[in-house]
Amino acid sequence: MSALVDRRRLLLGLAAASAAAAAPVPAEAGPAENPELIRLGDMLSDAYTRYNNARHAANAVKATQPAVSEAEYEPYWRAVKAAVKSLCSLVATIMDQPDETMAGLLIKAEALATFGNMTDVDQGWAIFEPNKWHGQIAASILRHAKGGAS
């Protein structure tokens, strides 16, 4: 099990405990989290692992074969680009999902943190999506601060 999944479980547990402690009604009476957002959040660790493995393989080729030709390097570059596209698409889909509870907000925050773990170059390939992500997470935070999902 990856550290990302362990961290996510810890954060989700803390969010659930905080929500339960602050709620004047039993936790089961509150809104349930969007099941699609939870499903997508569960996919995040695997998508990042695929990206990380592709990036490490490409970096290893460059490090061990400094004179590698473009033709020899192309499969590695294509694998990285496909993994970047897949991960960014997943993050975009997560950010577009409605979050009903703090657990959903944490899934979105984790998605942004995962995107932030990519190299700057790889983030640059995906610059078309992230422009709206900060506004989306800010809106979610404000909505929850004002009393939850509406």
What's the chain's average pLDDT?
86
8 A C-beta contact, residue 101 and residue 31: yes
Q: pTM for the full model?
A: 0.76
Which tens digit of pLDDT belongs to each residue from 90-123? 999 999 999 999 999 999 999 999 999 999 999 8
- Closest C-alpha to 83, from 119, 122, 51, 59: 51
Give the mean model confidence (pLDDT) for residues 65-94.
95
In the chain, where the domains are located: 3-145
pLDDT-derived band at 8 (thresholds 50, 70, 90) equals: confident
For the chain, what percentages of helix, strand and coil (3-state, to nearest 5) are there?
80, 0, 20
Kindly tell me the burial class for residue 84, based on how many C-beta atoms sit within 10 Å of its own C-beta (0-12, 13-18, 19 or more).
Answer: buried
